[in-house]
Amino acid sequence: MVKRLSDLTDEELIKEYQDNNTLEAYEILVKRYKDPLMNFVYRFLGDRDACTDVVQETMIKFYLNKDSYRSFAKFSTWIYTIAANLAKNELKRRKRRVIFSIDNSDDEKSPQIEDKMFLAPDKSADSEIKSEIIQKALLKVKPVYREVVVLRDIQDLSYEEISEITGLALGTVKSRINRGRIQLQKLLKNIYKE
């Protein structure tokens, strides 16, 4: 009995795409990973438009460099690695842009972001606002810690998978996650008072 493409695993699909250049297999993989990648990149960058661009670039890179995937690795880690690298590049580009704009124009000031961390606790109890506060606090965490915290606590990936994606040792991943959580907790001390 011939399996339908949608029933195939990620690894089977990428193999199908690699061997037979089946565009349908590619489309199924895009469908499966567009949302998780969007979520990951959004939590890392904090910008929806930039995040869409990064995920698009990720998918195009996947389309163009399908042969660089090796079957011994998990497809999810491979695609997450591409997305993470592109997101980090985007972050670097933004930093450069910010420095450039500050250097060039004295009138332009860096935009003031409303700090909702200092809102009244009763207000911050509201889940929507809380989510927003957490996202803003997350963006203040160092990118090296933020990446692993997002992968672990938001994307629910295992330590081993994170280690593969980031190329870090397992111990480093664990310590970075811990440090990231502590940093985040300090930033959200108003919420987690009790």
Partner 1 sequence: MSEFYNNKDEQKISNLIADLKKLPKVEAPENFEFNLMTRIQNENFGQAEEVRPRFNLLKFLAPSAAVLATVVLFFIFYPQQQDIQTQIAEKQSITDTPSIAGNSADKNVESLFSVPQKSTSPEVKSQRPSNIQSVEQNYKPAKQTIEFNPRKSVSVDDYISGANTSPNSGTRNSVVNVGERAIADGFFVEKKADQKTIEKYRHELDSLKKALLKADSLKKARK
Q: Which residues bind partner 1 (CB under 8 A)?
A: 27, 30-31, 34-35, 38-39, 42-43, 48, 51-52, 55-57, 59-61, 63-65, 127, 130-131, 134-135, 149, 153-154, 156, 181-182, 184-185, 188, 192
Residues 40, 154 contacting (CB under 8 angstroms): yes
User: Nearer to partner 1 by C-beta: 95 or 102?
Assistant: 95
Nearest Cα residue to 165 out of 92, 87, 53: 87
Closer residue to partner 1 in complex, CB, 117/154: 154
Three-state secondary structure call for residue 4 = coil
- Measured CA to CA, the distance from residue 188 to residue 126 in angstroms comes to 15
Q: What are phi and psi of 128, to 5 degrees?
A: -65, -45
Q: At its nearest, how many Å lie between partner 1 and the CB of residue 64?
A: 6
Report d(CA 13, CA 42) in Å as an integer.
26
Residue whose CB is less far from partner 1, 101 or 131: 131
**Residue 181: CB minimum distance to partner 1, A:** 6
Residue with tokens 């190329």: 167
Q: Are 13 and 25 in contact (CB under 8 A)?
A: yes
Nearer to partner 1, 20 or 56 (CB): 56
Instruction: Report the nearest approach of partner 1 to the CB of residue 24 (Å).
Output: 11
